[in-house]
Amino acid sequence: MRYSLLKIIKEGLTGNKGWRPIWRNPEPKKKYDVIIIGGGGHGLSTAYYLSNVYGINNVAVLEKGWIGSGNIGRNTTIIRSNYMLPGNEPFYELSLKLWEGLEQDFNYNAMISQRGIINLFHSDGQRDAYARRGNAMLLEGADAELLDEESVRDICPFLDFNNARFPIKGGLMQKRGGTVRHDAVAWGYARGADNKGVDIIQNCEVTGFKIVNGVCRGVETNLGPISANKIASCAAGSSSRVMSLAGIKLPIESHVLQAFVSEGLKPILPNVITFGAGHFYVSQSDKGGLVFGGDIDGYNSYAQRGNLPVVEDVCEGGMALMPFIGRAKLLRMWGGVMDMSMDGSPFIDKTHIQGLYFNGGWCYGGFKATPASGLCYAHLLATDEPHEVAKELTLDRFIHGKIIDEKGVGAQPNLH
C-alpha cells in the first residue's frame, strides 16, 4: 500500500477501514538465505537494503520482543555526521546522505528535520579540536561551520552568555544535522523490507547457533531451529549475550544510557545543542517535548534503567546552559543498553566462524548510523566484502592497533 495524501483523504471519508498491517506476522520458514538477529533499527535497515538494493529477499529478521524495542525506540533522535577520524567520517556522512532521501525512498514520513546541530566550545583547546573535526568533515564533503561567540548568540540568544561558569566561546555547527522521529524509522524500514518479502518474526529469541565444522548453518530459537546460509548478528546491547552462544568474546561492554523528555512546550529551541562544559544535549520534538540526555551512568548494566546521579548531572548541565528551562518539568526518564566498544567506534565485520557476521559496538551513537549501518552490513552480507566506507570497522582492529578513538580515552568503554 502506497501512502499519500490522497490515500489519507480517501480513508478518512470511508471510515479509515482500509488500512492494512504495515508488516505481516509470518511463521518462520525452515530456511532462509540470510537470518538477521535483532529487529532493531540496524537489523531492519539491513533487511531493507538487502532486499531493496542487493535483491536478497529470502531473509528473516528475528526479534526476541517487538520490533524497534531496543535503542531505536529509546534514543534522543539526533542525526549528524560530525566525526573527526577518517575511519568514521565517511561512514557517518554516507549515513546522513541516506537520511536525506530516506522518506521518499521508503514512503514513510520519519519526520527528518535538519534543524542543525551546534556543539558548543568553551576553551581554546576545545576550539582547536573542533576546528580539526570541522575540517575533517569538510574534507569528506560534509558541511561544517565554526561559529564564534557572536554567531552562537545570534542563533541561540537564549543560552546563558552573561552568568556562565564556563563562558561560551563558540561552536561547531552542522546545519544538515537534526532529528528524526525514531520509532518511525524502525517501522518504515520494516514496512519496506516486508514489502519485498522479508519475514519479520517477533517474539523469536535466538537460543543457540548451529555450527558444523567451523561453519555457521543456522540458529536455534524458542520457535525451533531455522537454517540459513548466512547469519547476521545485529543485537546492539545484547551482542555479547548472542555472540557468547557461538563462543565469541567481544570487545564490548553493555552500559546504560538514560534519556529524558519534558512535558510538551510551545516551540522554544530551534536546533540541537550540545554543551561543551557539561554532559547535556537537547532538542525539541515536534510534539513539543524537550528531548535531552547526557553521559552514560558509567557502570555495566543490562537493566534499561539508570540512577539519580546522572539525572542530576544532566539537569545541572541543562540549567547551566539554558536556565530558562528550570520550570519545564521532566516528564519521563528511561534507559537503554548500549553496546559500548573499546574505542567508541562500531564493528561491521565477518567473524572467524564462516557464515556468522557481526554488527555492533555502536555505543550511544547508533541511531544516526542506522541507514549506513544497514547498507554496509547488507553489502557485506551480499558480497562478502566490506563496504568502502566501513572498511576500518573491523573486529580485529585492536590486535593490530588500528584504533578509531574519537575521544582519546582508550580501552575504557564507560568513558567513550
Partner 1 sequence: MVINHPLLGPRDASEFVYLGDASLMDRPNWLDKDAGQKFYKYQYLRDNPHLEHKELWFHEQGDRSWLIVTRNISTHEILTVELAKKFFDKGV
Partner 2 sequence: MNKLNPIEDNIIQKNQSKQTPAKLELNNHQINRLKSGKILNNKKISFKFNEEKLQGYEGDTLSSALLANNKIVVGRSFKYHRPRGIFSAGTEEPNALLEIGKNEYQEPNVKATTIKLFEGLESRSQNHLGSLNFDLLAINDFLHPFLSAGFYYKTFMWPKSFWEKFYEPAIRRAAGLGSLSGMPDPSTYDKGFLHCDVLIVGGGPAGLSAALEAGRANLKVIIADDDFLFGGRLNSENFIIDDQIGSEWSKKSVEELSNMSNVRIMPRTSIYGSFDHGIFGGLEIKYDNYIDQIGKPRQILWKIYTKFAIICTGSTERSIAFGNNDRPGIMLSGAIRSYVNRWSVCPGKNVVIFTNNDDGWRTAQDLKNKNINIKAIIDSRKNINLNDKEIPIFKNTSIIDTSGRKQISSVTLSSGEVLKCDCLGVSGGWNPNVHLTCHQRGKPIWEKSINAFIPGKTPSNMLVAGTAAGLLQLGENLKSGHTKAQQVILSLGFKCSSSTPPKAENESANNSSFWHVGASKKRSWVDLQNDVTTKDIKISYEEGFRSVEHLKRYSTLGMATDQGKTSNILGLAVLAEYSGKSIPDTGTTIFRPPYNPVPIGAFAGRSRGKEFKPVRLTPSHKEAENLSATFVEAGLWLRAQWYPLKGETHWRESVDREVIQTRKSVGVCDVTTLGKIDIQGQDAAEFLDCVYTNGFSKLDVGKVRYGLMLREDGMVMDDGTTARFDLNHFVMTTTTANAVNVFRHLEFCRQCLYPNLDVHLISATEQWAQFAVAGPNSRKLLEKIIDKEYDISNLNFPYMGCKKITVCNNIPARLFRISFSGELAYEIAVPSRYGNSMFKVLMDAGSEFNVVAYGTEALGVMRIEKGHAAGNELNGQTTAQNLGLEKMMSKKKDFVGNILAKRSELNKESIVKLVGFKPVNKEIELKAGAHFISLGKETCTKNDEGWMSSVAFSPSLNHSIGLGFIKNGNNRIGEIVNAVDPLRKSNVEVEIVSPHFLDPEGERLRE
What is the binding site for partner 1 (CB under 8 A)?
A: 240-241, 244, 249-254, 298-303, 307, 309, 342, 398-399, 411-414
Torsion sign (Cα): 2, 77, 402, 358: negative
Closest separation in Å from C-beta 343 to partner 1: 9
Stretch touching partner 2 by CB under 8 A, among 41-49, 221-229, 233-241, 327-335: 327-335
Residue 127's binding partner out of partner 1, partner 2, none, with CB under 5 to 8 Å set by partner kind = partner 2
Distance CA 345, CA 363 (A): 7
Among positions 78, 94, 110, 231, the unique one binding partner 2 when judged by CB under 8 A = 110
20 binds partner 2 (CB under 8 A): yes
Q: Is the dihedral of CA 164, 166, 170, 176 positive or negative?
A: negative
Nearer to partner 2, 89 or 339 (CB): 89
Report the candidate in 263, 270, 237 with the shortest Cα–Cα distance to residue 252.
237
Judged by CB under 8 A, the chain residues 219 through 258 that form the site for partner 2 are none
Instruction: Map residues 353-392 to x or -, x wherever contact with partner 2 holds by CB under 8 A.
Output: ----------------------------------------
Applying CB under 8 A, does 27 fall inside the site for partner 2?
Answer: no
Q: How far is the CB of 252 from partner 1 (least distance, A)?
A: 6
Q: Which residue number, 140 or 253, has a Cβ lying nearer to partner 1?
A: 253
Query: In angstroms, rounded to a whole number, what is the distance separating the alpha carbons of residues 80 and 103?
Result: 17
Binds 300: which of partner 2, partner 1, none (CB < 5-8 Å by kind): partner 1
312 binding partner 2? (CB under 8 A): yes
Place of cell 565485520: 349
Nearer to partner 2, 155 or 245 (CB): 155
Interface residue with partner 2 among 155, 223, 245, 265 (CB under 8 A) is 265
In whole angstroms, how close is the CB of 119 to partner 1 at the nearest point? 26
What is the amino acid identity at position 248?
Answer: I
Report d(CA 47, CA 294) in Å as an integer. 31
Return the one option of partner 1, partner 2, none that residue 80 interacts with (CB less than 5 to 8 A, by type): none
CB-nearer residue toward partner 2: 339 or 343: 343
Q: Is 399 in the site for partner 2 (CB under 8 A)?
A: yes
Amino acid at 271: N
Q: How far apart are CA 260 and CA 291, in angstroms?
A: 6
The owner of cell 570541522 is 134
The binder of partner 2 chosen from 33, 149, 205, 405 (CB under 8 A): 405
Residues that contact partner 2, how many (by CB under 8 A)? 118
Site string for partner 2, 283-302 (x = CB under 8 A): -x-xxx--------------
386, 348 contact by CB (below 8 A): yes
d(CA 325, CA 268): 10
The single residue among 35, 47, 61, 112 that binds partner 2, judged by CB under 8 A, is: 112
* Nearer of residues 24 and 210 to partner 2, judged by Cβ: 24
Q: How far is the CB of 325 from partner 1 (least distance, A)?
A: 23
Span between the terminal Cα atoms of the chain, in Å: 43
Q: Report helix, strand or coil for 148.
A: strand
274: which strand partners?
Answer: 119, 281
- Establish if 154 lies at the interface with partner 2 (CB under 8 A): no
Residue number with CB closer to partner 1 (265 or 415): 415
Q: State the Cα–Cα distance between residues 144 and 170, nearest whole angstrom.
A: 13
- How do beta strands 117-121 and 281-284 pair? unpaired
Rounded CA separation 416/33 (Å)? 36
15/13 Cα distance (integer angstroms) = 6
CA–CA separation, 308 and 315 (whole Å):
11
Which cell goes with 92? 557517518
* Residue number, 179 or 301, with CB nearest to partner 1: 301
